[in-house]
Chains A and B, each alone.
Chain A
Amino acid sequence: MTDLAQSTLDGLFLGSSYALLALGFTLIFGVLRRVNLSFGPAIMFGCYAATWTHLNSGAGLLLLALVTIAGAVLAGAYVERLCFAPHRGGSAIAAMVASFALWMQFEELVSIALPRHIYDFPPLYAGASLSLGALSLRAESLVMLFAAIAVCAFLWWILYRTRFGVAVRAVIDQPQAAQLAGISVPRIFMLTFALASAIGGLAGFLTAASHEQVTPMLGMWFTLKGLLAMMLGGLGSLPGAVLGGLALGLLEAHSQWFFGPQTRDLIAYALLFVLLAARVPWMTTRSAS
């Protein structure tokens, strides 16, 4: 029983990082109707920018977090300009393939700057885990959970309480009418990319700090987890992204506990396959924000 509770708790913490990644993915997908494969690699680039800063200065954690976010936003803006701005209204496949090409660029770039396969990243909290009765929880996990909740609240405020949010939702809902209402769609694309990359950057920093290491493989990891969580939650739905992220985290934690660590990803992908093959309604019909 305690084990079940423990893995549920672990799953929620893990899932809150997936939820952040899925939120970033969903924002981009909802507004542009394009899959950005370079979303994860751009975040990985931000993590490496922070690692480089860490190696070359005595920067504190807060500064490293800001460097990660800034790096992810910069890389995200580069992806938007190169892959998505030229194909606006054009081929979705062309944009997606172009974003794959930039993925390779980011991996090469960080490998040239920092050639080892793994670098240490400073931990968020060096002390022992906290215990809650029989359950134990790591401080990073709590930070991750609170960050996810804070980002959700912040996003909700932006989307439902600001003029920018009205514009973003208008573009998601009916892009042509948004243009006719005087909303500059290219500008909203760019700002959405920046916002999504900043959220991804935060998730990236928290992930790197809780793994205490970075590798170029992080790019693929961020993209796969975010994409999977977004699809589980229903394409284009922001609340769905959060639920999808949490569901993925729980699924992974429980399957690890039931069947062992090797099966963790296997079961997640098998479930995605089954859900896609069964065409469950919430995954095939796009619900709006």
Chain B
Amino acid sequence: MIELQGISKTYRRPAGEMVDALIDVSLTINDGEFVAIVGSSGSGKSTLMNILGLLDVPTKGAYRLKGSETSGLSPSAQARCRNQRIGFVFQTFHLLYRTSALENVELPLLYSDRASIRGMGRKALEMVGLGDRASHRPSELSGGQQQRVAIARALVNGPDLLLADEPTGNLDRRSAGEVMNIFHELNRAGRTIVIVTHDLEIAGHCGRIARIEGGRIVADHKTADTRTALEGAL
């Protein structure tokens, strides 16, 4: 699914100095994997996430998504790729607050070429168990429900890859558990999921944990045994 080869990303800070956010990162994620990328803030995990999500381009290196090289893609082709292949889930949900849950979920469909979008939003809401909340505004939903709306939005176009940036960061334990359960179900159904988090307990849900530090991947444990993976990550 994902092949990163020697990816580096260098930023220029507003002050002028250059910052190496990622240094020679190589990473392969196969179809159907459930991966956690852990690291402290400033470790480069968000930059990695943005590059994986085609929101940002690397300074150096090659990124193949589903077997096709992404570096030559035009901005429009990247947008199309985000629309069709990638679903995003954010820590702060990023819902449109004056808009119903259903309209939020249908947002990606506005930018797709599908001839008919009828019923797709509702179906995605039902997948996250919020079929009866379609007309509610985000302010009328709990944090966990809001994040589930955001997951439904990420799913609505049927992407292969789900990228979640601290998806439980703003949620209480119970809601976080609900959200992780949804990710598990989706993973079991065959979706590739990458979660960026600094919460090791959340990372413990995943089948593989990659630890990033100072812009480099310092540990990468692919194991069915979560405990071993956790300890390795620590």
The judgment on whether A and B are partners is: no
**B residues within 8 Å of A by Cβ?**
none
**A residues within 8 Å of B by Cβ?**
none
